[in-house]
Amino acid sequence: MKHRILQAGRLLPSLEARLTAEFDTHLLASEADPQAYLAAHGGEFEGFVTSAGVGISAATMDRMPKLRVVSSFGVGLDKLDLAAAQSRGIAVGYTPDVLNDCVADLAMVLMLDVARRVSEADRYVRRGGWTTPGVASFPLARKVSGAKLGIVGLGRIGQTIAKRAGGFEMDIRYHSRRPVEGAPWRHEPSLIELARWCDFLVVITAGGAGTKHLINAEVLDALGPRGFIVNVARGSVIDEAALVRALVDKRIAGAGLDVFENEPQVPSELFTLDNVVLLPHIASGTQETRQAMADRTFDNLQGFLRDGRMVSPAPLPN
């Protein structure tokens, strides 16, 4: 008998094909009323496949009394109620490490783009600015190589960003609650001091309640009118209203943003600003990395159901 698995939303076709071949899979998102479906059929499923953006709540777990395993496509744990899973004895798997390269690459892209005005220059060329007589020449940009980089969160991805920035001969310091043992970069216990010191502040902490609005108006003011911010973590880590005000008032130099507080909504005030680069949460979005995430999502689920072992079990909450 195949294990019954509930799939929260659509996933990569290759992952869906593997899930369907191996398990008796049902797509919750295909139901007109997912809550009513859960109330009527939640008790039939042993496994739940979700993603970092969708997660799973305690209320959903309550409707799935036979649930033994959750496998999430993504590394972020902020939408997975790990405490609820732990108290119900439900194992949770996720996809760390396989996306470090691509998320770090995109952090560098955003830093280079916003500082060197790449997207702005592209818009200038497309609208004919370069060939229009009398139009002022394109403004000069900011140098990235050798600049001061502050990294907020020196975890798996933060360290990968630091290694890349080393290739740009950047002076690197970081902030996290605890210094990372053996890390060659200087730990700055004060986030405000890090922001005051650096030219570029890259945010790559975990999301969730513990980091909500960690970057507030005070941090942005410490970064100052020559400082740029890049966020590839979660929108919730930055007080978005404070960020918009700081950008509109030119109290910081610019921002490169892959994530937002209320995705897919992006504050409309940002659309008219040339010193802002806006992306639709694509940091892990390459074919190679998404396939690796898909494989890990499958392997976690299959490993647990086969012999109780996952490749990447999520850390238990404290």
Active site residues: 234, 263, 281
Pairwise CA distance, residues 130 & 119, whole Å: 14
Q: Which does 178 bind (CB under 5 to 8 A by kind): ligand NAP, ligand 8YV, none?
A: ligand NAP
By CB under 6 A, name the one of 247, 258, 261, 266 that touches ligand NAP: 258
310 part of the interface to ligand 8YV, by CB under 6 A: no
Of residues 275-294, those binding ligand NAP (CB under 6 A): 281, 283-284
Pairing, β 24-27 against β 186-187:
unpaired
d(CA 166, CA 293): 27
By CB under 6 A, the residues from 91 to 150 that bind ligand 8YV are 99
Interface region with ligand 8YV, contact rule CB under 6 A, candidates 72-80, 111-119, 183-191, 192-200: 72-80
| Interaction of residue 73 with ligand 8YV, rule CB under 6 A | yes
Distance CA 9, CA 172 (A): 39
Part in contact with ligand NAP (CB under 6 A); list of ranges 83-91, 164-172, 230-238, 248-256 = 230-238
Give me 10's structure tokens. 């659509």
Nearest to 311 by CA among 69, 14, 5, 20: 69
Q: Which of 19, 75, 157, 301 binds ligand 8YV (CB under 6 A)?
A: 75
CA nearest neighbour of 257 among 127, 143, 107: 107
Q: Is 157 in the site for ligand NAP (CB under 6 A)?
A: yes
* Nearest residue (beta carbon) to ligand NAP: 155
178: its two tokens: 């605890």
Report the amino acid identity of residue 235: G
**Coil, helix or strand for 149?**
strand
**207 is an interface residue for ligand NAP by CB under 6 A:** yes
- Report angle CA 9, 15, 18 to the nearest 5 degrees: 120
Which of 194, 200, 219, 173 shows the shortest CA–CA distance to 277?
200
Going from the C-alpha of 156 to that of each of 9, 28, 100, the distances in angstroms are 27, 32, 7
- Per-residue binder mask for ligand 8YV (CB under 6 A), 17-46, x = binder: ------------------------------
Residue 52 interacting with ligand 8YV (CB under 6 A): yes
Positions in the binding site for ligand NAP (CB under 6 A): 75-76, 96, 99, 103, 153-158, 175-178, 204-207, 210-211, 214, 232-234, 258-259, 281, 283-284
Interface contacts to ligand 8YV, rule CB under 6 A: 51-53, 73-76, 99, 284
